[in-house]
Structure 1
Amino acid sequence: MQIERWWPYLDGSAKMWLRENLRDEGLPRKVQDRIAEAGGPVIEPILGERDWVFIETQPQLTE
């Protein structure tokens, strides 16, 4: 599942964690759960390099 499809539905606190911990290999269970709830991947690797680049380049809007 491409990140562009589920990112808009991801919980704001999970987005913030991902932005503050770019490329962190150990995603907390809560963040993994929020990604799954938004329709994202549930198997490892949850996020690849392309996903991290997407996260890094997204504007940080108030949610």
Structure 2
Amino acid sequence: MQPIRIERWWPYLDTTAKQWLRENLRQDGIPPKVQDRIAEAGGPVIDPILDIRDWDFIETQSELVD
């Protein structure tokens, strides 16, 4: 089974969750509230929630796009 690509669910992710992810890049533990927002946007629900490619994607996203 292929992981859900972040490009597909990122546009639907709550802005506060995006901000937390940007401010806490590559953090081991993602708070349950942020995990819930990722799931609501159509993202993964099982660990690992985010892989290296996902963190790279988040790091390159501009806040102005949101």
* Same-fold status (TM-score > 0.5): yes
- Give the unaligned 5+ runs of structure 2: none
* 2:57 corresponds to which of 49, 54, 57: 54
| Residue from 22, 33, 56 that aligns with 2:36 | 33
Q: What TM-score do you get using the length of structure 2 for normalisation? A: 0.92
Q: CA RMSD in A?
A: 1.0
Give deviations 1:7-45, integer Å, cap 9, x for gaps: 000000000000000000100000000000000000000
Percent identity between matched residues is: 73
Quick one: distance in 1 between partners of 2:48 and 2:65? Answer: 28
**Alignment partners' CA distance in 2, 1:12 and 1:62:** 11
TM-score relative to the length of structure 1: 0.96
